[in-house]
Structures are given as structure tokens and as C-alpha cells.
Amino acid sequence: MAKPIYQRVLVKVSGEALMGTEAFGIHQPTLERIAADLVATQKLGVAVGVVVGGGNIFRGVKVSEQGIPRVTADTMGILATIMNALALETAIEQAGATARTMSALTMPEICETYERRRAARHLKAGRMVLLAGGTGNPFFTTDTTAVLRAAEIGAQAVLKATDVDGIYSADPKTDKNAKRYDQLTHQEAIERNLKVMDATAFALARENRMPIIVFSIRQKGAIEAVLRGQGRVTVVNS
């Protein structure tokens, strides 16, 4: 059986991935499947950090277009990521692993406050770390958070879990002529304005020489397969 290609990774899970077949919120069977996949990945001997988005509950950018100030809307989106992280933490622990939610916003009655060295200690002790609350600031996406936290905890790669099997030149759901890429550089992703992650995330990954592996989370065992060098992915690297 193939050994994992990385020993420490940051998995970025979109909030929308938790919806499963639902139109809003969390689909419990999907949540449990993703949690089981993360636990199976950890059992390979991989230290796992997770950043989860909040788009299944609240999208700050979209709501700000309707009149709520952007700073307020983004703060509400940050709170949504914390709710998702707490749900995922529970599912991970029910699947047999130990997890800790750490928030960029201080809320000690609910979860730990993020601190880099403490997060590293959790990982070293075999705990999965769920890095919630974005960067703690408005105007920054959870994609940027994922790359930032990956660099901070010494991850070797960011695994970007989406609902498609890699990066395309356009949305393959609406454009049948969209071209799929097997490999890209960070600079190419920025110049081509590819929407799978925002430009700030790609630029930060480029500066830190952080590989980004984009894959579909829809199949059971998808994260584990990526760590074994299997499955259909797009690799973004320098």
C-alpha cells in the first residue's frame, strides 16, 4: 500500500461541501463521511489541520451586496465557519479521533483561541486541529486562511476539497468546453484568474512555495486517496 506523500497537511473544506443534498446547512451523512475520511487520513500517520468555510450557512460577500456593511457581513460569515468547525469536530470524535477547534476570534466558552505553538502541540500529540474563524479579519477568504495556517503550522501542502475533480478554465457545470488542468504554477493560476481560490491565496502560496492540490470531496476516501498519490487532481506549485 502506497505511503502518504506528505506527513503534515492542511485540508480546506468548503462550507458548501457539508450541504450534501441539502440546499442549506449541514447534511449529517455528508458531514460524517468527510469526518471519517479525515480520520482515515490521520491513521496513515499524517498530521491534519482543517479549515472549513461557512458558505452553507452564510456568505458575507453575497449578503453585503444586499445592503449589510461588508465588515459586518464578513464577521457573520466568520461565525458560520466556527459553527461548521464545531460540527465537524463532533463528527471526527464520534469517528474515533481526537480533535480541537481553535478560533481566530476569542470565545473561550466555546472553543480554544488559535495560537500557532498550541496548534503545533495539538498536532504533535495526535489531535486533529480545526482552524476556525478565518484570519479573524474581514475581507479575507477562508482560502487565504487555509494557506496562511498551513504555512504557520508547517504543513507541506494545502488540500483543497471541492465539488469538481480539479481546476478548469471555466465552470465545467456550465461550460462544456472548459479545459481541465493537471498542473499549474501559482503564477499561472493568478494570471488566468482561475476562480477555485482567490488571488491572495495563490500569491501567499507562491511566496511560501506551498503546493495546492485540488480534488473532489464527493467520493468516499477522497482525501486519503490524494495522500496516497492517487485519484484525479490538479496540482498547483511553483
CATH of the domain at 188: 3.40.1160.10
pLDDT tens by residue, 61-111: 666 677 789 899 899 999 999 999 999 999 999 999 999 999 999 999 999
Its domain, for residue 174, covers 8-237
Residue 231 exposure: Cα atoms within 13 Å on the Cβ side: 26
C-alpha closest to that of 138 among 185, 88, 69: 69
**Quick one: residue 67, left, alpha or beta (phi over 0 = left, psi -120 to 50 = alpha)?**
left
What are the contacts of 114-117 at 24+ separation with CB within 8 A?
A: 116/152, 116/153
The pLDDT mean for the chain works out to 94
C-alpha closest to that of 208 among 10, 4, 7, 2: 10
Question: How sure is the predictor about 58, in pLDDT bands with cuts at 50, 70 and 90?
Answer: confident
Please report whether residue 72 resides in a domain: yes
Which residues neighbour 65 within 8 Å (Cβ) at sequence distance 6 or greater?
A: none
pLDDT tens by residue, 139-198: 999 999 999 999 999 999 999 999 899 999 998 989 989 999 999 999 999 999 998 999
Which residues neighbour 210 within 8 Å (Cβ) at sequence distance 6 or greater?
A: 147, 150, 151, 155, 157, 158, 204
Please report whether residue 2 resides in a domain: no
Please report whether residue 124 resides in a domain: yes
Please say whether the beta carbons of 162 and 214 come within 8 A.
yes
Please report whether residue 117 resides in a domain: yes
Please say whether the beta carbons of 40 and 222 come within 8 A.
no
pLDDT attached to residue 192: 94
Please report whether residue 1 resides in a domain: no
Please report whether residue 67 resides in a domain: yes
| Domain total of the chain | 1
